Amino acid sequence: MKLAGLFAGVGGLERGLAAAGHEPSLLCEIWEPARAVLAARMPDVPCKRDVRDLKALPREVELIAGGFPCQDLSQAGQTLGIGGARSGLVGEIFRLLDRRRVPWVVLENVSFMLQLDKGSGMRTLVEAFEERGYRWAYRVVNSLSFLPQRRERVLFVATTTDVDPASVILTDEAEPSVLPTNLDAYAHGFYWTEGIRGLGWAPDSIPTLKNGSTVGIASPPAILLPSGDVITPDIRDAERFQGFPENWTLPAEQVCRASLRWSLVGNAVTVPVAAWLGKRLARPGKYDASRDGALPLSGRWPTAARYDGNGRHAVNINSYPKWEQRAALTQFLRHDGKLLSARATRGFLSRTERAKLRFADGFQDRLRQHLLRMDALANAKFAVAAE
């Protein structure tokens, strides 16, 4: 299909769909660093600046795809809901659909939207599609299905065609091979900026890449290596954790500070997730209606559901459509990470010592040993400088 990529970011959703044969004919992105990436990586695709200025979509467009802004929906953001200034931009999609009812729509957003404000945002979304004659299906999909990043996002598919959207998003299911914690055997990802209420613990993988600060303060995860060193990954490996070639976001440095590349990567849609979805759009499966269950009338939405034109159903399916074999995290990393500083390690340890969380046996001890090494390294550098 010909697609219009709205809220395109650095093109993760569009790149994945294109890998399955769907051709972008229009992009729309307002943030200059992301626009610089799109101009360099998809130079032949017209890119409009502001979705609010789009009067209509090109006639050839059969698919609207968009990871609409999540700042008002995410737990780490403002949680203002779907009516927030940023996330409310999804309303622009309905304005365009009212001009021409494009047969397919694919949306992506954070899984927290299913519970935010007792599910009212999700209810608003599905009612808007139903009023326009669309059937829909959605599912939480974990990027860990394809890459060593634990990242759950809602994929929402709506259509006016005879194809059941459940046959696109709700047919594939795999049993994940998630490893248990073993500090001696492999690396473990976590968030060094946390430690009081959560950790984002991820055996042989990293937790969700975040978008960092809008002023360019990066927020990469930490990785505890089997050696006991604690590092933060290189931005080029962060791009690979999202399925991009390394240096995909490098063109952004022409218009912004380098650290903002972390925001671009953290905001992106994981490319192989989009590629899997694109393949199913081209070749739908067969939905098994025995997965249907009762949908709660109010409150938090389930992790998967569908609307068949007559009623809404919860769906019993996990968040892993595939399970791709992958190298160990230590082998996945191609570039030397940056050792977590003594200051960052000390602050993290201080928070863990005040927390009521349970940590893996030996985890805090390894962090303390890392801190001792970092302090010794700093003292050695100071002594050399003093000479």
Cα separation, 382 vs 386, whole angstroms = 6
Residues 6 or more apart in contact with residue 204 via CB below 8 angstroms: 148, 179, 186, 187, 188, 328, 329
160 close to 134: Cβ distance less than 8 angstroms: yes
Cα separation, 350 vs 318, whole angstroms = 36
Q: How far is CA 284 from CA 52, 229, 234, 281, in A?
A: 33, 46, 37, 6
Closest-CA residue to 116 (of 70, 66, 170)? 70
| 183 three-class SS | coil
188 close to 204: Cβ distance less than 8 angstroms: yes
Token pair of 378, please?
Answer: 């700093």
Asked about 70 being catalytic, the answer comes back as: yes
Evaluated on CA atoms 32, 34, 39, 40, the torsion sign reads: positive
Catalytic residue IDs:
70
